[in-house]
Amino acid sequence: MTDPPAERLRLMAVHAHPDDESSKGAATMARYVAAGVDVVVVTCTGGERGSILNPAMERPEVLANLAEIRREEMDKARRILGVRQDWLGFVDSGLPEGDPLPPLPEGCFALQPLEVATRPLVGWVRKERPHVMITYDENGGYPHPDHIMCHRVSVEAFESAGDPERYAGTGQPWQPLKLYNQQSHHKERYQALHAAMTAAGLESPYGERLAKWVDRPEDAHRVTTRVPCADYFPVRDQALLAHATQVDPNSFWFGCPLHVQRAAWPTEDFQLARSLVDTTVPEDDLFAGIRLGTPGDACLFEGTSI
């Protein structure tokens, strides 16, 4: 893999499994790719222990080769989104189910010591040199053990990659400037989509989810940054469908028509978790406050210009 160009803005999205990049922030990534930003996805695990969620793919030969097939799906989605992609190489922990929950399998990603799990990500941060990183919040978006571990290693890498005394042997130090948490699935968005579908006389897939929603005070002000990207919702959906073992084309993901989504909620949303540059929230750009270039250099970029 060649090094990313030095003169371009660079964005790194860290995800737990193949398909997460397409269900969380995909339209945002496609928008930045179209604007000339160098975007790389880092996938922590291979998704080896994932279930087959599309009935059309429930075949013995698919289950027997799931790890290989999920890599092929990831490559297809990557090409649709226009991003580059790297693997951390850890093994999927699976989603434990039952009461009580069973122990996680030995050697899986979620059971790795933090420094062991973070070390390869620090190496990728130092190689790719992102200005902005995206991960999940401390709850993992939802409490999958790999999503929570993804959050932990992303924060540790953000805080460590610029320190030459930490993670020796993983490349020259590089300090990203901003770290965001994904906030793709939150109540305000679902309420807006539900209201829009109801007003249009359509059956909403969000009513049942909203009826069961449990409000948490800490979630009230998480969203700081809304990135307009409605023009790239079709690209997002194509990338989702590339993960054929994980995404049923007749599922919840496609229950709301694109024209309704564009009108009711034309953004993807994020929480600014760390920033080493001056910026003011609310934002409409992950690169707000970041200037690229040196004093006097003609290559000067204001994040809000994309």
Q: What is the pLDDT of residue 301?
A: 37
Residue 81 maps to a domain: yes
Structure tokens at 76: 């297809």
In whole angstroms, give the CA distance from residue 225 to residue 131: 16
Structure tokens at 24: 């969380």
Residue 199 maps to a domain: no
C-alpha closest to that of 178 among 302, 269, 272: 272
Q: What is the pLDDT of residue 218?
A: 86
In whole angstroms, give the CA distance from residue 116 to residue 121: 10
How many angstroms separate the Cα of 190 from the Cα of each of 1, 122, 194, 266? 39, 35, 6, 12
Return contacts of 190-197, CB within 8 angstroms, 24+ apart: 192/264, 192/265, 193/256, 193/260, 193/261, 193/264, 193/265, 195/264, 196/256, 196/260, 196/263, 196/264, 197/256, 197/260
Residue 202 maps to a domain: no
Residue 151 maps to a domain: yes
Residue with token string 């039952």: 98
Residue 300 maps to a domain: no
Residue 207 maps to a domain: no
In whole angstroms, give the CA distance from residue 209 to residue 187: 9
Structure tokens at 273: 């978790």
Residue 306 maps to a domain: no
Sort 218 into a burial class: Cβ within 10 Å, 0-12 / 13-18 / 19+: exposed
Mean pLDDT by 10 residues, the chain (306 residues): 65 98 98 98 96 94 94 98 97 91 95 98 98 95 93 98 98 98 94 97 93 90 97 98 96 94 98 97 97 43 38
The total domain count for the chain is: 1
Structure tokens at 36: 């000339």
Per the omega criterion (within 30 degrees of 0), is the bond before 100 cis?
Answer: yes
Q: What is the pLDDT of residue 297?
A: 29
In whole angstroms, give the CA distance from residue 141 to residue 114: 19
Q: Give the residue numbers spanning the domain of 51.
A: 10-185+221-291
CATH of the domain at 141: 3.40.50.10320
Q: What is the pLDDT of residue 142?
A: 82
Q: What is the pLDDT of residue 192?
A: 97
Residue 62 maps to a domain: yes
How many angstroms separate the Cα of 174 from the Cα of each of 66, 131, 159, 161, 189? 35, 9, 10, 6, 35
